Amino acid sequence: MKTLYVEDLAASVAAALQQVSHTHPADFVAALRRARDRETQPAARGALEQLLVNSRMSREARRPVCQDTGIANVYLKLGVEVRLATKSGGAVPGLQDVIDDAVGRAYTDPANPLRATVVADPLGRRRNTRNNAPGLVHVELVAGDAIEVVVAAKGGGGDVKARYKVLTPSDSIVDWILNEIPTLGAGWCPPGVIGIGVGGAGPDETMRLAKEALYTPIDIESLLAKGAETPEESLRVELYQRINDLKIGAQGLGGDTTVLDVKVASAPCHAAMLPVALIPNCAATRFVRFSLDGTGPARFEAEDGAAWDDIPDQLSVPDGIRVDLRSLAKGDVAGWRRGQTLLLNGALLTARDAAHKRLHQMLERGDPLPVDLRDRVLFYVGPVDAVRDEVIGPAGPTTSARMDGYLDEMMGLGLLATVGKAERTQPAVDAIRRHRGAYLVAVGGAAYLASRCIVASRVVAFEDLGMEAIYEFEVRDFPVTVGVDATGASLHRYIPIRSEY
Ligand code: SF4
């Protein structure tokens, strides 16, 4: 038996969560570069460039790549010859407690605080646990005297798009997946990796297969070069090519790369069934693998920076149209056209789910609103807390469609345009057309870059909502693409527009 200390496990998991928050895996960066270099569509190419610049900036600043810093997913392969102990010789806590302690430490690290996303009582008050615990912990007992660990921070936009279906053995997995992919929309912030689980003794195993498959290096180029040798590899190659042929593209803007790789894992299943699960990993792909062998906690030295060589450390958008938000009028907005790149300058208001709900309730009661939306632009965002000299922490867009039920009401108050990520629903597109407004797409997963465009910030209403309060940001050259213009033309043309979110 080999003795491993739970303190070393906790310290390693905490350090891993900090590491992945700001540093993409090098193979992911290399795949993003290839996608950018091949991209033929300007809007998608611009989004890929932003993701790359954001990746470099986040790594250098050691600040999160995305404002959704994810839920901690920890997979432990625990050798049966390992004896867990504490350094003090006291009672050994349960592994869930060990990991939760690590998650709490990582997410409240004062040098790089991460956004706490977990709510304790989903059917009750939905109280935020404030330190992002509990994490998801999966333990497998394996042969050996070491612990193999995968630590991932999984954003909500990917997991919310998970799919599961029990096909019959004669059904086509490819057909089912190609049918599902467009329905994911762009809320999972492509490009990323799709994990596919096939088989398994029950739905939980199929889903786990799909998710764990995501936590392996991107190697589709070498698979394409050598050729598929197994049914799993054949499925990977076919799906990689056919999903990208759908032309959904980076951020759903229409383009050549939607997936950087497709991973497939399979397991034995019931003879009468063909269960399949699909889970995306987004532009904020964050995971690391390490092993503990009793020699102390894992160390995460700075990765070789070669992956980021030649990526600029700030964004340049030579074809961007500068927009002065201080003098913006309805006529200006009505002149914007789908696909144009704008650089916003001036004051942006922010609001997301909770603020919209409260504004709506105030309108219903006939109460005066704390903000005047007339001739303003509203950014759907919930930033990370600032540290040191930051004006605001990473502040990327959230999924706009969640606010679609309120859009007509807000535009009726004189709101000119909104900024967020992914496609809108049909009623929202109709509202934009009716009010001659616009919807502007910011790049999901480029949150640190976005925060560097914000030069001043103040809370203007609902301070008690924390990161969901209404802020006024002063922005400088904040890059957005016209996603829906005043004619109702949408850039998300390869994604079916739904009637409701
Ligand atoms: S990149 Fe998009 S889906 Fe991923 S964590 Fe960030 S906002 Fe969520």
Q: 454-461 and 470-484 as β-strands: parallel, antiparallel, unpaired?
A: antiparallel
Task: Answer yes or no: is pLDDT of 146 > 90.
Answer: yes
Can you tell me the distance from the alpha carbon of 344 to that of 71, in angstroms, rounded to the nearest whole number? 32
Read off the pLDDT of residues 439-448 as tens digits, 9 standing for 90 and up: 999 999 999 9
Residue type, 330: K
CA dihedral over 180, 181, 186, 188, signed as positive or negative: positive
Tell me which residue of 442, 457, 469 sits closest to 43, measured CA to CA.
Answer: 442
Which among 258, 229, 224 is positioned nearest to 244, based on CA atoms? Answer: 258
Q: Does residue 389 contact residue 367 with C-beta atoms inside 8 Å?
A: no
8 Å CB contact between 93 and 484? no
Question: 154: CA distance to ligand 1 center in Å?
Answer: 8
Q: How much is the average pLDDT of 378-404?
A: 95
| H or E stretch at 348 | strand 341-350
Asked if pLDDT for residue 266 goes beyond 70, the answer is yes
Which of these, 432, 423, 496, lies nearest to 252 by C-alpha position? 423
Q: How confident is the model at residue 303 (pLDDT cuts 50, 70, 90)?
A: low
Q: What is the pTM of this model?
A: 0.97
Dist. CA 159 → ligand 1 center (Å)? 10
155-166 pLDDT, tens per residue? 999 999 999 999
Cα distance between the two ends of the chain: 54
Distance (Å, rounded) from C-alpha 164 to C-alpha 144? 34
Out of 282, 353, 398, 419, give the residue to mutate to test ligand 1, the one with the largest number of ligand atoms within 8 Å of its CB.
282
Strand pairing of 2-5 and 82-85?
parallel
Q: Report how far ligand 1's centroid is from the alpha carbon of 190 (Å).
A: 9
Q: Residue 497: what pLDDT?
A: 87
Distance 432 CA to ligand 1 centre (A): 25
Can you tell me which atom of ligand 1 is nearest the CA of 67? 6
Rounded to whole angstroms, what are the CA distances from 478 to 254, 341, 383, 402?
Answer: 21, 10, 15, 23
Distance CA 186, CA 211 (A): 19
Nearest atom in ligand 1 to 283's CA: 1
pLDDT at 302: 67
Ligand 1 centre and the CA of 282: distance in Å? 6
Which H or E element spans position 234? helix 231-245
Atom of ligand 1 nearest to the CA of 68: 5
Output the pLDDT for position 304: 74
Spatial separation of the C-alpha atoms in residues 265 and 197, rounded to whole Å: 5
Taking CB atoms and a 6 Å cutoff, what residues make up the pocket around ligand 1? 66, 68, 70, 155-158, 188-189, 282-284, 396, 444-445
CA 84–ligand 1 middle distance (angstroms): 35
CB 171 within 8 A of CB 144: no
Averaged over 87-114, what is the pLDDT? 98
* pLDDT of 8 over the 80 cut: yes
- H/E element, 292: strand 287-292
Q: Ligand 1 center to residue 231 CA distance, Å?
A: 31
Question: Bridge partners of 259?
Answer: 192
- pLDDT digit string, tens, across residues 345-390: 999 999 999 999 999 999 999 999 999 999 999 999 989 999 999 9
pLDDT band at 499 (very low <50, low <70, confident <90, very high): confident
Mean residue pLDDT of the chain comes to 97
User: Which of 55, 68, 117 has most ligand 1 atoms within 8 Å of CB, for mutation?
Assistant: 68
pLDDT for the residue 140 = 97
